[in-house]
DNA sequence: TTAGAATATTCGCAAATGCTATAGTGGTGG
DNA sequence: CCACCACTATAGCATTTGCGAATATTCTAA
């Protein structure tokens, strides 16, 4: 059970796959379009898509000789959005730390 | 930026670390207590905790010669909870698929 | 049926990950 | 000071991952 969750996080644990999932959050796309938008080789895109498929993050639809990909659950888009909020918040903290390095009397408490 | 998000997902992409984060969602714990609860060697626990530390998922507090770990942001607990909902939902779907294998006339639509 | 377009798969290799075992570090009590 | 305790860090090894290049598969059009 935890292993299953871990596999999903593993599927999201790569910048390229995050890019793909974010793109798919806007709507479905063909494999070729994805590799073009993300800016990677066709082979590499196909491999990342296979991982997202195997971990049940995306689903496919076939039309002619194109394959359309879409998110299996909007939850994944939401999770990336939550993560974005968190990253932004942490970036602020990190900037405060930089400020400390430049000025030891910076406005952050509980630092010794 | 995407790399930073990917690193956080990477931190969560292991069953043991999910166990640790779930445990810490209930409150802080010492490193020793964690390795005991999770049922892994002290060394292994320390390595996983180092990863969670480096990826900014947990924070530490020192008391005597014990080190207490806690989640840096309740968001991580929430994410695991969301993931739990999703996994449960998918488990239902999977069970339906099993039913199909046993009975081709099962009660799932859009299957050809 | 043959050519071409869109995806998928396999291969070889460099890099990252996970684990055990083995040090190393820093508090604490005697 | 010294021995212990809780914890962290490193080494070595097997396994996994990520990549481009080459190759296979599948669909469509002519």
Q: Do B10 and A8 touch (CB under 8 A)?
A: no
Give the per-residue pLDDT at A92.
78
How do the domains of chain A map onto residue ranges? 2-102
Measured CA to C1', what is the nucleotide nearest B49? D8
Give the per-residue pLDDT at A103.
42
- For strand C, give the nucleotides within 7 A of a protein CB: 4-10, 17-23, 26-28
Give the per-residue pLDDT at B42.
96
The listed CATH number (3.10.20.30, 1.10.10.10, 1.10.3720.10, 2.80.10.50) that belongs to domain B2-102: 1.10.10.10
Low-confidence ranges of chain A (pLDDT < 70): 94, 96-112
Low-confidence ranges of chain B (pLDDT < 70): 94, 97-112
DSSP letters of B43-76? HHHHHHHHHHHHTTSEEEEEETTEEEEEES-THH
CB B2 within 8 A of CB A15: yes
Question: Whole-prediction pTM value?
Answer: 0.85
């Amino acid at each position: 059970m935890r292993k299953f969750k871990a596999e999903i996080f593993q599927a999201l644990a790569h910048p390229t796959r995050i890019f793909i999932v974010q793109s798919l959050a806007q709507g479905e796309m063909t494999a070729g379009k994805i590799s073009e938008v993300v800016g990677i080789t066709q082979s590499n895109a196909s491999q990342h898509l296979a991982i997202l498929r195997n971990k049940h993050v995306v689903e496919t639809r076939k039309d002619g000789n194109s394959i359309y990909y879409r998110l299996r659950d909007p939850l994944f888009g939401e999770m990336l959005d939550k993560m974005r909020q968190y990253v932004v918040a942490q970036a602020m903290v990190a900037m405060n730390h930089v400020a400390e390095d430049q000025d030891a009397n910076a406005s952050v408490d509980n630092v010794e």
